[in-house]
Amino acid sequence: MELKLGNLTTEKRNQASLKIDTLSTAEVVALITREDQKVFQAVQEELPRIAQAADLLTEVLKRGGRIFYMGAGTSGRLGVLDAAELWPTYGVGTDQVKALIAGGTEAVFFPVEQSEDDEEAGLRDFLAESPTSRDALLGISASGRTPYVVAALKRAQEIGMVTIGLACNADSEFSKIADVTIAPVVGPEVVTGSTRMKAGTAQKIVLNTLSTTIMIKIGKVYQNLMVDMLPTNAKLVARAEQIIMAVTGAPLTDVRRVMANSSNNIKLSIIMLKADCDRDTAQTLLAEAEGVVGRALQLINAAEGSDS
């Protein structure tokens, strides 16, 4: 793929920072943060594409498919971060959302920059996951042209997968391939080409928004509470207790008793307390509600109404 970096907004020189090396510390800090304010407007302009991508990816998970993130450098690390945090926050593991980064695990901690040019490695890493048409691929790249990712996106399209691109340049290579391309154009970086800055911030915001929306849509949130969170340490156990008390109004002693019986499962604990039932009955109710707490509570309320 021929390199034409001069055409990329993310590679242009920022006229506001041409003399940044002569500014005082306070002036440098002010300039960087002033430029960062442009990120939020750029993301706002992409809301229709973010919503469209969220709906497509939600359907992928609902039908039992998987979502793969792929990126290199900062973009790849942001994908790894987003995917890793879905496990403790929503109970979603790598069997549903998995991140692939050019250069492998080493690249999370150390620069393996040449790996982003390796199309064959991109295909190899992607195909090693045995993707099918039920799955989705989300490619992440500030430039929107990273060969490691583009090669996989092209193959994903051939397979019939849902394909999403996340870039920070308009009319990128991604936009020619993906079903939906989200492209917050944040403008030239304060330090030319340093896309870990505004571009990275924009990608982080989009990934947070996208994955959180998907988790809400598949029933991982009740009201604004993380009801599929995994209470794996003291802080998270305390948070789980607070969540259950907030939903049920039960005292802490009852909450702790039910949590012990449900193996610290927040959803089951809520249903057990609201329906005054055992774990097996709660599991049945939750299954009927397709794992959605709000729907399960409606079933409980309807049953109580019919008994009165």
Q: Residues with catalytic annotation?
A: 85, 116
Instruction: Give the Cβ contact number of residue 256 at 10 Å.
Output: 16
How far apart (Å, rounded) are the C-alpha atoms in residues 10 and 250? 53
Distances (CA, A) of 30 to 19, 22, 34, 204, 286: 14, 14, 6, 22, 51
Backbone angles phi and psi of 137, in degrees to 5 = -125, 125
Give the gyration radius of the chain's Cα atoms.
23
Give the ranges where the chain is alpha helix by DSSP (H). 25-44, 47-62, 73-90, 106-109, 119-127, 147-159, 198-217, 234-248, 252-261, 266-275, 279-288, 293-307
Per DSSP, helices labelled H in 160-219 are 198-217
